[in-house]
């Protein structure tokens, strides 16, 4: 029995030795990687703001094309319109109309305007109206825009040559607008300027009037008065007889 056990043990050791000494073949399988799908990047086209006006520049949903005027309304009023110099229907009883030639305006006196104050503590109050010479009727200037223009060599040229002389002047330098003060009259023609520096001014306004002023049709009447503003309240009316 012992002999058989020893034989069995020797046989087992022999088999294990043969197995351990034999070559082993290891198969390495290449790793397969699934390629990622490439997603193309789509660039969005730049957005353009366009108005499609359709054929002949018209579109029933958008209306007709409107040309922007040379005098861009978004930039405010032209200085010449303040004084009525471009108004062909203007009536001025103080002058005889002159030929429609344009007189050159003097250069803007920058040094002189350095001494013109823009803010003050005085008040100018009054009433604007026209008086019919035939029946003495007073026509109030309701809802009119009025200006105070400091008296300088620059504004004096306008007063003498344009208002009194009847000449049309070349365009006003826009820097003048920084020194003008304006207000509106109420329904009765009453007006008030506040925060006015003391000094001399041209009080300016333009008023439309028709049959009540003795005209056959409506005309624009320019009213100008030279005033002196002192401390406190200065009371002054802006008026003119017509026709």
Q: What is the pLDDT of residue 101?
A: 81
Q: Report the C-alpha gap between 5 and 10 in whole angstroms.
A: 9
Q: What is the pLDDT of residue 59?
A: 43
CB 157 within 8 A of CB 83: no
Dihedral sign for Cα atoms in the order 41, 47, 53, 55: negative
Q: Which two tokens stand for residue 218?
A: 């409506």
pTM, two decimals, is: 0.65
In which band, very low, low, confident or very high, does the pLDDT at 55 lie, cut at 50, 70 and 90? very low
CB 137 within 8 A of CB 196: no
Exposed, middle or buried, 193 (CB in 10 Å: 0-12/13-18/19+)? buried
Domain chopping of the chain, boundaries: 76-242
Q: What is the pLDDT of residue 108?
A: 98
What is the tens place of the pLDDT at every residue in 157-187? Answer: 999 999 999 999 999 999 999 999 999 999 9
The 3-state DSSP composition of the chain as helix, strand, coil percent (nearest 5) reads 25, 30, 50
Q: What is the pLDDT of residue 46?
A: 46
Least confident of 58-62, 109-113, 142-146, 219-223: 58-62
The full DSSP string for 27-57 is: --PPPP-PPPPP-PPPPPPPP-------GGG
What is the tens place of the pLDDT at every residue in 59-100? Answer: 444 443 433 333 333 233 444 555 545 443 456 666 666 666
Task: Give strand ranges (E) for 161-237.
Answer: 168-169, 181-184, 190-196, 199-209, 219-229, 233-235
Q: Give the pLDDT mean for 222-228.
A: 97
Other beta carbons within 10 angstroms of residue 124's beta carbon come to 21
- CATH superfamily to which 76-242 belongs: Carboxypeptidase-like, regulatory domain (2.60.40.1120)
Share of the chain above pLDDT 90, in %: 58
Q: Are strands 122-132 and 190-196 parallel, antiparallel or unpaired?
A: antiparallel
The mean pLDDT value of the chain amounts to 76
Q: Report the C-alpha gap between 138 and 225 in whole angstroms.
A: 18
């Amino acid at each position: 029995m012992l002999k058989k056990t020893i034989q069995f043990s020797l046989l087992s050791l022999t088999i294990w030795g043969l197995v351990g000494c034999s070559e082993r073949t290891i198969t390495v399988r290449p790793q397969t990687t699934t390629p990622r799908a490439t997603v193309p990047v789509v660039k969005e086209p730049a957005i353009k703001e366009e108005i499609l006006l359709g054929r002949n520049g018209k579109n029933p949903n958008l209306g007709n094309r409107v040309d922007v005027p040379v005098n861009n309304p978004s930039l405010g009023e032209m200085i010449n319109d303040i004084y009525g110099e471009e108004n062909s229907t203007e009536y001025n009883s103080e002058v005889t109309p002159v030929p429609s030639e344009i007189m050159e305006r003097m250069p803007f006196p920058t040094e002189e305007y350095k001494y013109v104050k823009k803010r003050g503590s005085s008040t100018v109050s009054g009433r604007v109206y026209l008086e019919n010479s035939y029946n003495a009727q007073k026509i109030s200037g309701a809802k009119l825009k009025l200006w105070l223009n400091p008296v300088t060599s620059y504004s004096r040229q306008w007063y003498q040559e344009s208002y009194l002389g009847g000449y049309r002047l070349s365009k006003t330098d826009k820097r003048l607008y920084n020194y003008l003060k304006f207000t509106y009259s109420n329904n009765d023609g009453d007006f008030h300027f506040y925060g006015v520096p003391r000094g001399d001014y041209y009080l300016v306004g333009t008023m439309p009037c028709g049959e009540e002023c003795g005209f056959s049709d409506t005309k624009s009447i320019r009213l100008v008065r030279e005033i002196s503003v002192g401390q406190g309240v200065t009371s002054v009316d802006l008026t003119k007889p017509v026709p």
